[in-house]
Structures are given as structure tokens and as C-alpha cells.
Amino acid sequence: MRTNGILWVVGIAVAVALIPSLPYGYYSVMRWVVCASCARLALTSYRNEREEWAWCWGVIAGIYNPIFPVHANREIWSIVNVVTIGVVAWYGHKVLRLNKGNQHGGEA
């Protein structure tokens, strides 16, 4: 899956998690999806020599990991989800635009 598709998956999964009336099962599945997607983004960032983004995605993957879950109340998770959406939007805007510019001969 391309990076752009992974960003959409993470952004949508976390945005839907902001709906307060979802069953607990959604959050369990969302943790798996977001953790795996962010781990993939971390690996891709590392391979593209963007170490700061690799760390960022690795930390997010760690926060959402389903094996050793981070326990917090709904208010804290809402803040974490909004911050995650912000990171997805920032990465999508900055890094993917930069890559597009480099492919068309633009300067970085």
C-alpha cells in the first residue's frame, strides 16, 4: 500500500474513534490497524532517511499498540487522537508535497 493510502487509513480510523458511542471492539481493531500502519510508515521513513519521522511514527505505533496497551480515560484518548490526526495531516502536507515536487524537478 502506498504511503498516501496508509495516511488515509490512519486518519480515518482515528477520526472515527472520536465518536463517543462506538463499541469497545472498534477501539481494539483500530489499535491493530493504526499500530501496523504507523509501524509501516516508520519503516518507510527510515528507509527514505527521514529519521525524525521514523521516530514520530514509531512513538505513535507504540501508543496505539494492542499488545501492551496504554490505558487512559476517554478525554486523554480524544486528545491523543486529535494530535495523531494533526501529525497525519502535517506529514501528508509537508512530506508528500515535497516528494511530489522532487518528482517533477522542483527544489526541496
pLDDT digit string, tens, across residues 68-101: 989 899 899 999 999 999 999 898 888 767 766 6
pLDDT digit string, tens, across residues 3-58: 778 888 888 888 898 888 888 888 889 999 999 999 999 999 999 898 999 999 99
Q: What pTM was estimated for this model as a whole? A: 0.83
Q: Where do the structural domains in the chain lie, given as residue ranges? A: 3-103
The Cα 59–Cα 101 span in angstroms is 28
